[in-house]
Structure 1
Amino acid sequence: MTNTIKVQRAIKNITQEELAKSIGVSRQTINAMESGKYVPSTVLALKIAKYFGKKVEAIFELEIDD
């Protein structure tokens, strides 16, 4: 799964720490998602999308191997 969290943060000019506090996770969780080491739960993905005012599909993309 890929995501645009880092890009969305840059657009809003916020740090990983600020995003983490806003959605109730640690900065390390945001870092792990941005680096592709952690796939968020559905609830967390929805919180992130809501925070940025986007649809989940605008933030996260599922990569399927054919």
Structure 2
Amino acid sequence: MATLASYRENRGMPIASPHSKDKALTAFGAGIRRARKEREVSQEELALKCGIDRSYMGSIERGEQNTGLLHIARIAKALDMKISELMIVSKL
């Protein structure tokens, strides 16, 4: 479990999930990136629309985070997609 000390040592960057780089996470992240680029939205703009820190969004796109349902819902909404569409684009 991440502690405040380890967060500080990591210079405020999100701490990778123990599931980091799992095939499902990398596929989901790639799907988000694909959908975002198709809509010509920057990572920073998407993060802002979702209320998610830009560095955390980057770690989601790289498959380093096992993000929760509320973030998934916010990402889908910001991309003007249904959650199910985002999963299909992610090939999950």
TM-score of Structure 1 vs Structure 2, range by shorter chain:
0.7 to 0.9
Q: Does 1:25 align with 2:52?
A: yes
C-alpha deviation, 1:41, in angstroms: 0.8
1:46 maps to 73
1:57 maps to 84
CA spacing shift, 1:41–1:10, aligned 2, 3 Å: same
> TM-score by structure 2 length?
0.60
> TM-score by structure 1 length?
0.80
Residue 57 of structure 1 aligns with an amino acid whose one-letter code is: S
The percent of aligned pairs where both chains have the same amino acid is 24
Separation of aligned partners in 2, 1:53 and 1:9: 10
Computing the radius of gyration from Cα coordinates, the structure with the larger value is 2
Aligned length: 63
The structure 1 segments of at least 4 consecutive aligned residues displaced by more than 4 Å after TM superposition are none
Give unpaired runs (5+ residues) of structure 2. Answer: 1-23
Measured on the aligned residues, the alpha-carbon RMSD in Å equals: 1.8
Of structures 1 and 2, the one with the larger relative CO (CA 8 A, separation 6+) is 1
Between Structure 1 and Structure 2, the one with more strand by share is 1
Q: Deviations over 1:6-65 (max 9, x none)?
A: 1111111111110111110111111111110002111010111111122213223596xx
